[in-house]
């Protein structure tokens, strides 16, 4: 992966496309990512569009990291991995990509966050809470795929 390349990205809904979603998050192949799309949609019920977009924009680089990091690919790590694997991938992302520091104290590790990492960590924490508190992410709908295909042709 070329450093700085964003694999995961959001595609806004064109005016002539009917959908319950104002945007769809897609991976590098244009395949919709249901969980992130639904997460953004649910944030819009609680936050302004700008704040919801900030949360989403904080998450996209982490999901790109999961999809492109050689070690994560070797382990087949995804967002759907067991909680310990997700915790490890978040920790590695903070250390490797965001240059956060870890200090050990007894049996615990404390991560010293860079200022730029605080918003990202808040977004990841919010997604984790939403993901495990409700299982709407498995919702299947062909509408999202059609929407992403139409939008991807216009954008891509």
- Return d(Cα 105, Cα 34) in angstroms, integer: 39
- Return d(Cα 16, Cα 18) in angstroms, integer: 7
Where exactly are the structural domains of the chain?
Answer: 9-77+123-155
Residues 6+ apart with CB under 8 A from 33: 8, 25, 26, 27, 63
Q: pLDDT tens digits, residue range 109-119? A: 566 666 666 66
Q: pLDDT tens digits, residue range 80-116? A: 888 888 888 888 888 888 777 766 677 665 666 666 6
Rounded to a whole number, what is the largest CA-CA distance in the chain?
A: 59
């Amino acid at each position: 992966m070329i450093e700085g390349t964003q694999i995961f990205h959001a595609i806004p809904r064109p005016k002539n496309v009917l959908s319950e979603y104002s945007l769809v998050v897609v991976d590098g192949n244009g395949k919709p990512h249901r969980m992130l799309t639904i997460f953004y949609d649910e944030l819009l019920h609680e936050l302004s569009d700008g704040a919801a977009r900030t949360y989403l924009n904080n998450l996209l680089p982490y999901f790109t990291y999961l999809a492109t990091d050689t070690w994560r690919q070797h382990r087949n790590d995804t967002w759907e991995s067991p909680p310990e694997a997700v915790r490890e991938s978040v920790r590695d992302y903070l250390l490797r990509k965001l240059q956060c520091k870890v200090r050990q104290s007894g049996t615990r590790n404390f991560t010293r966050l860079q200022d730029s990492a605080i918003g990202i960590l808040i977004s990841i924490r919010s997604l984790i809470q939403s993901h495990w508190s409700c299982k709407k992410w498995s919702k299947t709908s062909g509408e999202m795929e059609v929407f992403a295909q139409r939008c991807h042709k216009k954008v891509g």
